[in-house]
């Protein structure tokens, strides 16, 4: 992101062409009288100042050297602490035991050496335990994010990870899904809440996973289908084997809502200089059967959590943000 700066006042630059070639040129023109001489002296002084002899040009050059292109990047690729907010995915739900959280395998702040969470990759094992915090909650929606970020801000983290939105789409009926406008309002309020307590914290925003792809991957597993009947993401997983037009229209409606949520995440994040959206990386990721929980075939397994950690680490440490 940094660009090398070359001096604009060198002998080959245009500013050098404006400098007087010698002392006497304007002096010879100043013999017409005292007023003219004074004017000539002032003119020469101004010209010399423009060439840096009296500091005028050097001051201008310094401003240019400390302008936006020379500032250190706002994004620190090696943050020293991590706080996580979000929903059941960040809590490691159903990754270790059935229908229970397992935060130690969280993609963001987990301590499991096989998952190698983002915090572990950035901080190392000892530091990750001391300087990472998980404020996510199973079942959380975007409307819960302001409160989570208020808690996260108290930790004064250098990096905050956000993964939320799946529960806004996963409702009993499609009509109960969070409206896109409300989703935006809550996310904007969340960012304001964070900035009030942690103005310099970096924010990594994960896209909402493609719920329709998760349905397509897991629907072939008999055990998963039985668990889905308990009410997990009914808008997408309900009547999982129903291929009627009505059922497909419902799933497509959920899919489009998730796409809209991700557009909101991208747009709001882009307005914050210390925020990075993942460019849709999680939404585009094709989870396999091994990367889904073997209890519900919907949430990420340990292997799936590891994949999420890898995506996050790649984007957080990249020189340029994903597009």
pLDDT tens string 208-258: 999 999 999 999 888 888 889 988 999 999 999 999 999 999 999 999 999
Sheet holding 132-134, edge to edge: 132-134, 82-86, 159-163, 202-205, 275-277
| CB-CB contact of 218 with 297 (8 Å) | yes
Which of 100-114, 170-184, 187-201, 222-236 is the least confident region? 222-236
Dig out the tokens for 16 from the structure: 């050098």
For 105-210, where are the alpha helices, taking DSSP H only? 118-123, 125-130, 145-154, 166-169, 180-197
| Fold exhibited by the domain 82-316 | Rossmann fold (3.40.50)
**CB-based burial of residue 180 (10 Å sphere; 0-12 exposed, 13-18 middle, 19+ buried)?**
middle
Mean pLDDT across the stretch 46-60? Answer: 33
Which of 70-79, 98-107, 292-301 is the least confident region? 70-79
pLDDT (0 to 100) of residue 230: 87
Query: By percentage, how much of the chain surpasses pLDDT 70?
Result: 77
The answer, yes or no, to whether residue 151 has pLDDT greater than 90, is yes
Cα separation, 323 vs 319, in Å, equals: 12
The answer, yes or no, to whether residue 20 has pLDDT greater than 80, is no
Residue with tokens 């630059």: 13
pLDDT (0 to 100) of residue 22: 41
pLDDT (0 to 100) of residue 173: 96
pTM beyond cutoff 0.85: no
pLDDT band at 73 (very low <50, low <70, confident <90, very high): low
Mean pLDDT across the stretch 71-95? Answer: 91
| CB-CB contact of 132 with 159 (8 Å) | no
From the DSSP assignment, how many helices (H) and strands (E) are in the chain? 15, 5
Dig out the tokens for 244 from the structure: 């009627």
Domain with CATH 3.40.50.1110 in the chain: 82-316
Q: Phi and psi (nearest 5°) for 136?
A: -70, 160
Identify the CA nearest to 27 among candidates 40, 42, 46: 40
């Amino acid at each position: 992101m940094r660009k090398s700066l070359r001096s604009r006042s060198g002998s080959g630059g245009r500013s050098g062409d404006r400098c007087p070639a010698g002392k006497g040129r304007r002096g010879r023109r100043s013999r017409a009288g005292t007023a003219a001489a004074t004017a000539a002296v002032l003119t020469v002084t101004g010209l010399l100042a423009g060439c840096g002899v009296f500091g005028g040009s050097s001051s201008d050059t310094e401003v240019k050297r400390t302008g936006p292109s020379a500032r250190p990047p706002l994004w620190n690729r090696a943050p020293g602490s991590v706080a996580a907010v979000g929903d059941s995915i960040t809590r490691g739900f159903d990754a270790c035991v059935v229908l229970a959280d397992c935060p130690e395998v969280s993609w963001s702040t987990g301590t499991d050496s096989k998952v190698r969470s983002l915090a572990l990759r950035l901080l190392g094992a000892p530091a990750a335990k001391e300087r990472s915090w998980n404020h996510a909650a199973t079942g959380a929606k975007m409307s819960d994010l302001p409160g989570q970020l208020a808690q996260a801000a108290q930790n004064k983290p250098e990096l905050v990870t956000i993964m939320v939105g799946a529960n806004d789409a996963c409702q009993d009926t499609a009509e109960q899904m969070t409206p896109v406008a409300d989703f935006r309002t809550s996310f904007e309020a969340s960012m304001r809440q964070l900035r009030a307590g942690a103005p310099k914290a970096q924010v990594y925003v994960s896209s909402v996973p493609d719920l329709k792809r998760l349905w397509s991957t897991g629907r072939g597993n008999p055990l998963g289908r039985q668990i889905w009947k308990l009410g997990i993401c009914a808008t997408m997983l309900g009547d999982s084997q129903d291929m009627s037009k009505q059922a497909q229209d419902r799933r497509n409606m959920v899919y489009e809502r998730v796409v809209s949520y991700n557009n909101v995440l991208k747009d709001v994040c882009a307005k914050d200089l210390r925020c990075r959206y993942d460019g849709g990386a999680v939404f585009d990721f094709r989870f396999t059967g091994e990367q889904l929980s073997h209890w519900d075939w919907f949430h990420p397994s340990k292997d799936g959590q590891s994949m999420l950690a890898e995506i996050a680490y790649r984007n957080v440490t990249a020189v340029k943000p994903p597009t």
